[in-house]
Amino acid sequence: MNTAAVRPTNAAERDARRSRNDGAPTLEFGQRVPYDAYVHASTLHTLQRTLSGDPGEMSFLVVSQIMELYFNLIRHELQQARDHLRSDQIWPALAPLKRAALHLEGLNAAWQTLRWMTPADFNRFRDLLGEGSGFQSAMYRQVEFLLGLRTRSLIRPFKGTTEYDELTAALNRPSLWDEVIALLARHGHDLKPELLSRDVADEHEADPSVADAWVRIYRDPGPDNHLRLLGEALTEVADRFGDWRYLHLKAVQRTMGAKSGSGGSNGLTFLQRSMARPVFPELWTSRTEM
């Protein structure tokens, strides 16, 4: 973001301005309003370009764009957490994980504003979307890759774009869960060696040795057991991401039933199948033995 037009201030300047204004907000600026210089709201509000005259399409488009912004925010937090764990910094990793879980709550709430949409409402503009589908969101794919959900073929739609190079790089970097597993090994947990040397572009498959490690970790409920705190923070992220998948499924079911998806999939069935791939799988399987 270009913030060159934003002039930094300090507490003394703010107090002096309040005194000059008798407590009222400043109403005169030389050129650009400082808020817009930072947020770029005037640019954001030019990006809602609907394809039909249907008033409901605006809701669909704006919510889609809001979700894209949340995907980027969640990616940012998960990358921060992953980098901390790679450096054996468990405690600092908890804050971005907590933020990611809260951002997922905000993301999930966006579905609620589309609950008015019936199949008839969607059909009024759906054909104009062509083959456009949320399945083609590069930023959502980045989030999935960070969470450990990896399918090499899913980057193919982006060939010839800058997103393709970014997704290829993301696919070949360890996921957040890969870094968690490496962290457990460094902390003395007996894990299968092949877990630490596998091709990270392939999706991780749940392994009993990782589940056993979490069982041992959770046996110590003390406040200094940062690995247990990490486990709970990761569980919250996985749980909220599961909510996202379910709400997505319900939104599709509500607006189009079992019709074919716009992007060529079988729609509802495809989403149901994707929900069977758990995020951080051993955090769930270990709970049977806890």
Binding residues for substrate: 126
From residue 75, alpha-carbon distances to 70, 80, 148, 245, 248 in Å are 8, 9, 12, 16, 19
Instruction: Please tell me the distance from the alpha carbon of residue 59 to that of residue 114, in angstroms, as a whole number.
Output: 7
- What is the pLDDT confidence band of residue 205, given thresholds at 50, 70 and 90? very high
- What is the pLDDT confidence band of residue 263, given thresholds at 50, 70 and 90? low
Rounded CA Rg of the chain? 23
149, 158, 174: which is closest to 237 by C-alpha? 149
Domains of the chain: 60-288 (1.20.58.480)
pLDDT tens by residue, 128-174: 998 888 888 999 999 999 999 999 998 999 999 999 999 999 999 99
Are 94 and 231 spatial neighbours (Cβ–Cβ below 8 Å)?
A: no
163, 123, 161, 117: which is closest to 140 by C-alpha? 163
Residues belonging to the chain: 290
Q: What is the DSSP letter of 154?
A: G
Percent share of the chain, pLDDT over 70: 96
28: left (phi over 0), alpha (psi -120 to 50) or beta: beta
Mean of the per-residue pLDDT values for the chain?
92
**What is the separation, in whole angstroms, between the first and last Cα of the chain?**
47
Binding residues for heme: 248
- Is the predicted pLDDT of residue 2 greater than 60, yes or no? no
Per-residue model confidence (pLDDT) at position 1 = 45
- Which tops the pLDDT comparison, 272 or 47? 47
- Is the predicted pLDDT of residue 267 greater than 70, yes or no? no
CA atoms within 13 A on the CB side of 189: 22
Binding residues: 126, 248
From residue 232, alpha-carbon distances to 17, 160, 172 in Å are 46, 40, 27
pLDDT average, residue stretch 23-33: 86
pTM above 0.85, yes or no: yes
pLDDT average, residue stretch 101-106: 98
Per-residue model confidence (pLDDT) at position 4 = 54
pLDDT average, residue stretch 257-281: 77
pLDDT average, residue stretch 216-222: 95
CA atoms within 13 A on the CB side of 251: 22
pLDDT average, residue stretch 184-205: 96
Instruction: Please tell me the distance from the alpha carbon of residue 98 to that of residue 76, in angstroms, as a whole number.
Output: 13
Continuous H helices in the chain: 11-20, 34-39, 41-44, 56-86, 90-110, 119-126, 138-147, 162-171, 176-186, 208-218, 226-256, 268-274, 281-285
